[in-house]
Amino acid sequence: MITLKQLAIDLESVAKKYANQDAEVKKLLDSLDDMLYRAKNGIQIHTEEKVPGFYWFSERDLSKYRDLEKAYSQFSIFVAAGTRERYDELLKAVDDALQ
């Protein structure tokens, strides 16, 4: 079962893989630090909160790291959804729209 905690761990792991070789990834990881900490420690994140870092994918070149972009997107969608059930619904809606 997918949890916010697991998505946070995954995102942090993927980001750390690139952070030593790419300063922009390090900046992304730094901007996510508080939210990742809260997600990993079961501290509530409100659905209204904006996940930091979109800038690095839209205005910088981090989209070249497909696994990082995927991990960031999944984490962001879960935060916006608020629950695993709503997360599953949003993912299904996106998949349906792409078909």
Nearest by Cα to 3 from 92, 91, 96, 74:
74
| CA 74 centroid distance within chain | 5
Stated pTM of the model:
0.90
Instruction: Give yes or no for a contact between 1 and 84, defined as CB atoms under 8 angstroms apart.
Output: yes
* Total Cβ atoms within 10 A of residue 12: 20
**Domain that residue 13 falls in:** 4-98
Nearest-5° Cα angle at 31, 56 to 39: 115
pLDDT digits (tens, 9 = 90+) for 56-72: 888 888 999 999 999 99
Q: Give per-residue pLDDT as tens, 15-51.
A: 999 999 999 999 999 999 999 999 999 999 999 999 9
Provide the domain count of the chain. Answer: 1
Distance of alpha carbon 9 from alpha carbon 83, whole angstroms: 17
